[in-house]
Amino acid sequence: MSFSIGEIFRMTVFGESHGVCVGVTVEGVPAGTEIDRRSIQKELDKRRPGQSSITTQRKESDRVEVLSGVSEGKADGGPVTMLIRNEDVDSSYYEDIRYTPRPGHADHTAMIKYGEDHDHRGGGFFSGRMTAAYVMAGAIAKHILKERGIETMAHVTQIGDVKVQKELSHEDIQENVYRNDLRCADTDMIDDLREEVVKAKREGDSIGGMIEARIIGLPAGIGEPLFDSMESVLSRYMFSIPAVKGVDFGAGMEAATMRGAEHNDAFVMDGDKIVTETNNAGGILGGISSGMPVVMKVAIKPTPSISIPQRTVDVETKEECELKVRGRHDPCIAIRAVPVVECLSACAVLDLVFRGEIDG
């Protein structure tokens, strides 16, 4: 199902950008799990719009409401339904584009799939706002994983041509990412990255970026062969974030250029633990976690909504025309995608962790 994912820890998302709300129902939360509204809110706040001059100015409080599945602060074993309401909805922008699909957006494909009456305002359920649902589910997943010693994290490693070169420790990421508005773990690079965004914004343009995610504390043996390999599952989740156009693991795309002797990670002893010397495999062998950190890169395209005039077509008259997209958009959506990647990774991994608890 396209709005549901997960075999045991399963989420079903619902809502629209300019409708009543965006929400999620999470099945598979073990009874007794502590569900703290404030910690869910804290995760939501990380992706909330309107927090900085380089993100969208849409003002949303994004206050989580918990509708089911929780009794006296604990999961009761039933589905946990949570939602945030849409408050700052200005659909006036969208009349302009009713018949002139925005380049790079889902406007045209949605029209074909769902008919011309489809609710195009704010992108409907194609909106990036749907990722708030992932974050609410992910907040619970992160909590459950943490109790098992597993953590997910994410950070911006590149915007346009500016790239973080420094080797970053897990601690660098955990400490720095949410302390700056670029979601960057290398504090020396923040100004350069911001400059890229500001330049694009000033020109009415937008810019792409790269996010690295890591999963640490994951024991070896998690993940399944073939269709539910760690990579299969994680990539499916990642590509459900609008704007993601590439996902790789460890050496990733670079593996195509490498020799086996270089790419293979030698097994060595670290005390009495078997580890690998390098981590080109990104913590995954045969689809199954090796015990090394899982490392994944996620490429985010530039926000398609830009104020620079673009060529499009009027679907009614079938005439080419020019479009200048109005509205309040993020000049670099990669930034706000960081907590989404982090939370969604947690959902993916938790489902595999739960499945691993039977396979023995």
Which residues 182-201 are close enough to bind a second copy by CB under 8 A? 200
If binding is defined by CB under 8 A, does position 38 make contact with a second copy?
Answer: no
140: contact with a second copy by CB under 8 A: no
Instruction: Calculate ∠ Cα 208-211-215, nearest 5°.
Output: 165
Q: Considering the rule CB under 8 A, would residue 138 count as an interface residue with a second copy?
A: no
Two structure tokens written together for 177: 């990412």
* C-alpha span between 211 and 153 (Å, rounded): 10
Taking the least distance from each CB to a second copy, the nearer of 167 and 359 is 359
Backbone angles phi, psi at 230, to 5 degrees: -45, -45
| Per CB under 8 A, 247 contacts a second copy | yes
> Which amino acid appears at position 223 of this protein?
G
Judge residue 119's burial from the number of C-beta atoms within 10 Å of its C-beta, 0-12 exposed, 13-18 middle, 19 or more buried.
middle
Nearer to a second copy, 90 or 171 (CB): 90
- Bridge-partner residues for 312, per DSSP? 321
The reply on whether position 224 binds a second copy by CB under 8 A is: yes
Is residue 92 involved in binding a second copy (CB under 8 A)? no
**Closer residue to a second copy (CB): 27 or 36:** 27
Q: In the block, which residue shows the tokens 């965004």? A: 197
Token code pair at residue 320: 């080419």
Given 38, 72, 167, 202, the residue binding a second copy (CB under 8 A): 72
Q: How far is the CB of 8 from a second copy (least distance, A)?
A: 6
Structure tokens at 353: 């962790």
> Residue 171 or 269: which CB sits closer to a second copy?
269
Q: Which is nearer to a second copy, 171 or 272 (CB)?
A: 272
Which positions ≥6 away from 212 have C-beta within 8 Å?
154, 155, 157, 295, 296, 297, 298
Q: Minimum distance between the CB of residue 214 and a second copy, rounded to whole angstroms?
A: 16
**Which residues 323-352 are close enough to bind a second copy by CB under 8 A?**
334
Taking the CB of residue 264, how many other CB atoms lie within 10 A of it? 14
- Selected from 240, 279, 327, 328, the binder of a second copy by CB under 8 A is 240
202 binds a second copy per the rule CB under 8 A = no
User: Please, which residue, 112 or 175, has the CB nearer to a second copy?
Assistant: 112
Residues 6+ apart with CB under 8 A from 287: 223, 224, 225, 226, 228, 229, 230, 231, 232
Residue closer to a second copy (CB basis): 175 or 283? 283
Interaction with a second copy in 274-313: which residues (CB under 8 A)? Answer: 274, 276-277, 280-282, 285-290, 297, 299-306, 308, 310-313
Considering only 45-53, 143-151, 164-172, 266-274, which stretch makes contact with a second copy by CB under 8 A?
266-274
Phi, psi dihedral angles at 336 (to 5 degrees): -75, -10
